[in-house]
Amino acid sequence: MSEVRTGRDIVLEVENLRTEFRLRSGTVGAVDGVSFTVEAGECVGLVGESGCGKSTTGLSIMKLLPNVGHVVGGSIKLLGRDLGPLKEREMQHVRGNDVAMIFQDPMTSLNPTWTVGRQIAEAYRLHNDVSQRDALVRAREVLELVRLPRPAERLSAYPHQLSGGLRQRVMIAMALVNSPKLLIADEPTTALDVTIQAQILDLIDGLRRDFEMAVILITHDLGVIAARANRVMVMYAGKIAEGSETEELFGSMRHPYTEALFRSIPRFDQDRTQALFSIPGVPPDLMTPPPGCRFAPRCRNAQVRCTQEEPLLAPETSGSRPGAGTEHTETPTLPHAIRAGEHVYACFYPVDTSASSKPTLQELEEEASAVELGLVDVSAGDGGGQPISLVERPPSRIDSVTGGEVLLRLDDVYKEFPVTAGAVLQRKIGTVKAVSGVSFDVHRGETFGLVGESGCGKTTIGWLVTALHRPTSGEIRFQDQDIGQLRWRSLRRARRDLQLMFQDPYASLDPRMRVGPTIREPLNIQSVGSRADRRKRVADLLSEVGLSPKAAGLYPHEFSGGQRQRIGLARALALNPKLIVADEPVSALDVSIQAQILNLMRGLQAAHELTYIVISHDLAVVRYLADTIGVMYLGKLVEIGPATDVYERPAHPYTRGLIDAVPIPDPVLERQRETVPVRGELPSAMDPPSGCRFRTRCPLAQDICAEVEPPLRSFGHGHRAACHFPLQEPEESTAQATATA
């Protein structure tokens, strides 16, 4: 897991790497003075917020920078060979052979017009003088190596015919086909469900150990790093802020940025009445970085020296454990290369995160108020194309509003989509059973969480609730009105109270419309107020979600991901809805920005008495937001109940598997916990298994599971689950035992 590995051969040595992007508007110093080594069989984690330089470091090593990107300083040595002087033709022999890369989105990285077998075979033939037949044999071998189901059949499949997890396995197979000595994995599991994420990470981990392969794991998920990396490097604004062995870093962080990232993570044991800690401000503009420490404008420990001098990486001296506010006096003249066994950080006033000295959340919030108070404009706002943003101080305590009357009721809802073939006749060849007999209630003022893997029917439920689809059968009653039967005029009026917050805030915003007209559009459609009223409403909404009213004149591309999600939330609030369906609202965001959005959603819920349905595969996020949780599997609701009961006493094996698959940001706890992982892929919704749909992946399945569909049984206090062999004793069994006694 995170064992110290010394005495191994050094596969990669990066020294004082500097990479720039030369744009028309200026030069961006994306990577500035990064130095580190990676040994054979070692996994080194690169973590940090978006834009910190993680991916650019990986692309610099591969020499795959875009045309505007240039390595302007330092050296990159792979197996002792300096890659800097190599021409593109020479680099083609190195790339894919000695070093390979797994990209974040396998769908955009694979050629949609080539079969899987052809793409893997092509990568093998580029570096080996073999026939197409021999290359396909090798392709099948590596598909077996990455445990792709039915590898011989998959050779003739196209990327769109595979699920996200299978496509990622194909990407790994392409990377491994020539047995590289170094593998760079750039956010390899960001878009995947927790169950598939665990399988992919286990696969990479096993291959690393079996073949003594060096791995650089790039991610913003500290839980993934805790479970997989031997060493960690934390990057901020193009520089390494801290680096050490994984257990050392998680046990005694020194840089305030590392500590802030760690505290921004939603945890299963998070107190839901407390706001999540979030890092104030935004990362600096790397065209004109601030003088001194780049994190100083957001740092709770910053002093005058931090704004005047730049702290460089230095090792922690033996026996010296600085506390908060204690100066780190080491002042090296060159960036320090992070090697195995060392703990280095670049900070004049490091923090002490030992168990006895960790500050409480309230103390952190009070200290952070010295950096920002109230609503503070953190941009120049000079109209130069930079986002205009406000960072709010959320309330330290957020009270949940539950127990109201039933606002929404789903009663035995089914939704099926026809599958057709033929360009002209469009013959029906099957049916996708997206939702099958789902029933639940949502009370006014509560947050209802829907969790499950991709393809389980969560998003379809969201579309049905917001009347974007009509159910095939069953009733969806909103405020005691069956919205599935409403005609168009009545439906348009009903949609004022039903709004959807989309997963991808950029794709859901019209790139040709400024923010003001985008938010104002629902008001125009519903003929709400005068023009002056609508303009005032837009300004008020922008302020409420933490953006400057000046943002109304900008386009979506001028904002960061977190800011675009705030715009999406403002648009959803425009008509004062009663219910908002949030579909994966923070899955594409860094943990620090994620915390800000979650705090904002909770604060707005309390202020406007909103009701949420939150759809997510991130169980920690749902645990923090939700009062009630429903777990879906292949169109069925397999477990439902109060959030505390579902997480602390799961009754269904699938729920237990989802919880066990979530990485814990603690290397010690991650090694100690006993897990029951969910293996395999989700079956096809066109031909779901008989009986219990989870039986094909369930470790407890028996013959009855294939013959009889289990009913939802009570486990007390509104907690129900559909399983023949539940992990908890059902209420009726307890009652029968008591009656017999």
User: What does the pLDDT read at residue 67?
Assistant: 92
Predicted pLDDT of residue 374? 32
Nearest CA-CA partner of 282 in 190, 361, 395, 376: 376
* For residue 740, pLDDT beyond 60: no
Per-residue confidence (pLDDT) for residue 120, from 0 to 100: 94
Query: Which conformational region is residue 738 in: left (phi greater than 0), alpha (psi within -120 to 50 degrees), or beta?
Result: alpha
- pLDDT band at residue 496 using 50, 70 and 90 as cut-offs: confident
Of the pLDDT bands very low, low, confident and very high (cuts 50, 70, 90), residue 491 is: confident
Helix-helix angle 591-608:256-263, to 10 degrees:
50
Identify which of 170, 156, 62, 79 has the alpha carbon closest to the alpha carbon of residue 115: 156
Interval 431-455 mean pLDDT: 93
Between 491 and 233, the more confident residue is 233
Select from 3.40.50.2300, 3.40.50.300, 3.50.50.60, 3.30.565.10 the CATH code of 406-479+578-722: 3.40.50.300
- The pLDDT value recorded for residue 282 is 79
Please say if the pLDDT value at position 423 is more than 70: no
Give the pLDDT of residue 379. Answer: 34
Supply 149's token pair. Answer: 């189901």
Q: Buried b vs exposed e over 322-348: b needs ≥16 C-beta within 10 Å?
A: bebeeebebeeeebbbbbbebbbbbbb
| Segment 30-77, tens digit of pLDDT | 999 999 999 999 999 999 888 889 999 999 999 999 999 999 999 999
Average pLDDT over residues 138-150: 89
For the residues of 394-450, what is the DSSP string, one character each? --SB--------EEEEEEEEEEEEEEEE-SSS-EEEEEEEEEEEEEEEEETT-EEEE
Categorize the per-residue pLDDT at 332 as very low, low, confident or very high, splitting at 50, 70 and 90.
very low
What is the pLDDT at residue 339? 63
Is residue 341 within 8 Å of 4, Cβ to Cβ?
A: yes
Domain coordinates of the chain in residue numbers? 10-236, 406-479+578-722, 504-575
CB 583 within 8 A of CB 622: no
Contacts (Cβ under 8 Å, ≥6 apart) of 439? 410, 411, 412, 413, 474, 637
Q: Reduced to 3 DSSP states, what percent helix, strand and coil does the chain have, rounded to the nearest 5?
A: 35, 20, 45
pLDDT tens digits, residue range 543-585?
888 888 888 999 988 887 778 888 999 999 999 999 999 998 8
CATH of domain 10-236: 3.40.50.300
**Residue 160 above 90 pLDDT?**
no
Q: Where are the beta strands (DSSP E) in 557-644?
A: 579-583, 611-616, 628-633, 636-642
Task: Determine the average pLDDT of the residues in 233-262.
Answer: 92
